[in-house]
A = this chain, B = another copy of it.
């Protein structure tokens, strides 16, 4: 079994191999540092065009890194040779938009009509923030990032719609501009913030009760800064209620062969 100290010795391919052998089933933050981690969404092919269009229309929340050929579980662009049916630590299965079960292997659920979408995640820009000395509160405090539904509507397609979901990181006022500069480069990992300051301006009543993840403390003089979040796709899928869907389990991401810098312009 992998422990945190050993994880720094592993490449993306090694972590995927451990997942494939069911030797690793835990959350992936901090693993294979420098390699891009990705959100996973799997849908039947008759939903594929519309979901890709939804991502295209909402690129800050849903930056597409790779899309598999119909029926193929191999994301050839970002991890050739990998297998999305086995190479993530944990998955969630949905039927008719309802959660069905969690599993560590989806080979039994795979079908020739499925298409997989890999979507950028905030870990890439958090590494960049840390590299320039910006605080990332949920990492400092050993928590999950706090995430909130907003009153900002995504640009819908016929069947996919829903609120923009954001993640929040508190920053000292004098470092907010630097955080914009650093994260905007990572346009395939949510890029620059979508809002700075007053949570109520985007429909968040209180920071103390996030819709997903954990609350984190704001220190005096700190400003809440909000970035678009990949959970937006899951909300849209729950609303659209496709007959079948698979996603990664929260925090249990796909680790690709891309490097964080590959997500910058």
Contact = CB atoms under 8 A, between A and B. Distances in A.
Interface of A: 45, 48-49, 52-53, 56-57, 64, 67, 69-70, 77, 155, 157-158, 184, 187, 191, 265
A56 B69 CA distance: 13
Nearest to A115: B49
A77 B265 contact: no
Given A52-B49, A52-B52, A56-B64, A265 B191 contact: yes
Contact of A265 (B56, B57, B184): B184
- The interface centre, meaning the residue of A49, A155, A187 with most chain B CB atoms within 10 A of its CB, is A49
Contact of A157 (B64, B69, B155, B187): B69
Contacts of A158: 69-70
Given A52-B56, A57-B67, 17 more contacts: A45-B49, A49-B49, A49-B52, A52-B52, A52-B53, A53-B67, A56-B56, A56-B64, A56-B67, A69-B157, A69-B158, A70-B158, A77-B155, A184-B265, A187-B187, A187-B265, A191-B265
A221 B9 CA distance: 50
Nearest to A46: B49
22 contacts: A45-B49, A48-B49, A49-B49, A49-B52, A52-B52, A52-B53, A52-B56, A53-B67, A56-B56, A56-B64, A56-B67, A57-B67, A57-B77, A69-B157, A69-B158, A70-B158, A77-B155, A184-B265, A187-B187, A187-B265, A191-B265, A265-B265
Contacts of A157: 69
A77 B157 CA distance: 12
